[in-house]
């Protein structure tokens, strides 16, 4: 115990003590940073920089970039079109994926369909098929996707269950995400969305 007391009494020993402690912290921090970098190697697709812009990793090849946009498109369409009697099932994703005009389009579409979804107790799920991507010189992209919606509802008059299959064709426009600080999962956000539905089959037709 006397030895520990001597360290704090002697100025030279005290300076050496703090120097060695600082070195230990630096070594520990460097080792931790190395471990994080080594574990995350290859997983960083984009890097936030000044004014909420970002650049894509140089090691990201065309197929990997296509995969990023493909993921965004599938996630956005499923978020937008997966619905129940009370509306969109995953509403918390809407502000993360849609901005500006697209956000208004999503809100308007949900409001217009709200009465039918409520009275007919409609449940529907989107199955996204092929997605094609075209990039713009400004760093954005446009995607065209097809798929189908499986919809189950209840006839308000006969109270019989109705199953429908609907073909979906959608076009989405993507821009760089201006709010990466709060939405780091999505380097792109949709600012315009259009879609069309057409009937494939319905249990009503089989009656």
66-91 tens-digit pLDDT: 788 899 999 999 999 999 999 999 99
132 and 162 in a single domain? The answer is yes
Instruction: Identify whether 197 is part of a domain.
Output: yes
Instruction: Identify whether 50 is part of a domain.
Output: no
- Count of domains observed in the chain: 2
35 and 131 in a single domain? The answer is no
95 pLDDT exceeds 70?
A: yes
31 and 123 in a single domain? The answer is no
> What value does the mean pLDDT take over residues 150-162?
89
**Range name among 31-35, 38-42, 47-51, 134-138 with the lowest pLDDT average:** 47-51
Contact 150, 125 (CB under 8 A): yes
CATH at 157 = 3.10.450.240
Q: What is the pTM of this model?
A: 0.68
194 and 111 in a single domain? The answer is yes
What's the domain range around 78? 60-202
85 and 178 in a single domain? The answer is yes
């Amino acid at each position: 115990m006397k030895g520990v007391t001597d360290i704090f009494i002697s100025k030279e020993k005290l300076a050496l003590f703090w120097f060695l402690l600082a070195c230990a912290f630096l070594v520990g921090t460097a080792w931790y940073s190395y471990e994080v970098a080594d574990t995350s190697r290859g997983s960083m697709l984009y890097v936030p920089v000044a004014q909420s812009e970002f650049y894509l990793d140089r090691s990201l090849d065309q197929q990997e970039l296509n995969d990023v946009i493909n993921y965004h498109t599938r996630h956005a369409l499923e978020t937008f079109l997966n619905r129940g009697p009370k509306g969109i099932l995953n509403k918390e994703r809407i502000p993360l994926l849609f901005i500006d005009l697209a956000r208004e389009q999503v809100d308007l579409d949900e409001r217009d369909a709200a009465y039918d979804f409520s009275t007919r107790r409609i449940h529907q799920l989107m199955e996204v098929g092929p997605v094609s991507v075209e990039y713009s010189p400004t760093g954005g992209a446009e995607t065209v996707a097809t798929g189908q919606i499986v919809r189950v509802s209840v006839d308000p008059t006969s109270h019989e269950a109705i199953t429908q299959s609907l073909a979906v064709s959608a076009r989405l426009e993507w821009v760089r995400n201006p709010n990466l600080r709060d939405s780091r999962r999505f380097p792109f956000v949709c600012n315009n969305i259009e879609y069309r539905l057409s009937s494939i089959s319905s249990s009503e037709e089989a009656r």
